[in-house]
Amino acid sequence: MLATDFLDATWRELCLMHSQDDVAINRYWQDLSGQYRDGKRYYHNLEHIASVVKQLLSCKQIIDNWDAVLFAAFYHDVIYDTGRNDNEEQSAFFAVDRLRNIGVDEVVIHNCKEYIVATSNHDKSADSDCNIFVDADLSILGTPWNEYLQYSENIKKEYAHVPDALYRPGRSAVLMKFLEREQIFNSKFFFEKYERQAKENIRKELELLK
């Protein structure tokens, strides 16, 4: 199943738990998916969202606030502009507006907003669902090297406007922050699954950036 078909079906199933307004549900899916289809997105696109959703489905049994986590997965990168530093906050505002319009419960909306904002730093949270969500967002770091390398190349394409002399140290600084953490993944589930490979991949990319 294509990422768009998978996400379309998942989106509808999720929204129908909160609203019977088919017109609004379809309109917001077109609105949402259109954002991710922006031609400047090489990594932060529908394929990334599908990957995050699938990661979350693999551990659904340990997630308490499933709907909030899933809505966060759909909306967490809806606003993505490499020239600004408030993408997560703007994505959260975008989500709150749309979810209120289809009648989603305020508790779900609040949690969704918190989870999206948490992806700005991926710090450990007292909320286990938040840790699982941000870990799913980072799961690409722990994939096999060839997949990770494609990811790193796609990130570079998204910053094509940045001169190489600036991109390399900037990207290196971001990667070093992950290695300097006590652990990259905050949940037991993703730590055990991806931590070792993620550190290996990051070290390899840092060598390439020298």
Residues 6+ apart with CB under 8 A from 114: 127, 130
Q: Is residue 1 predicted with pLDDT exceeding 80?
A: no
**In terms of CATH, what superfamily is 3-209?**
3'5'-cyclic nucleotide phosphodiesterase, catalytic domain (1.10.1300.10)
Global pTM reads: 0.96
Q: Average pLDDT, whole number, for the chain?
A: 97
pLDDT tens digit string along 14-57?
999 999 999 999 999 999 999 999 999 999 999 999 999 999 99
The domain segmentation of the chain, as residue ranges, is 3-209
Q: How confident is the model over 45-63, as pLDDT tens digits?
A: 999 999 999 999 999 999 9
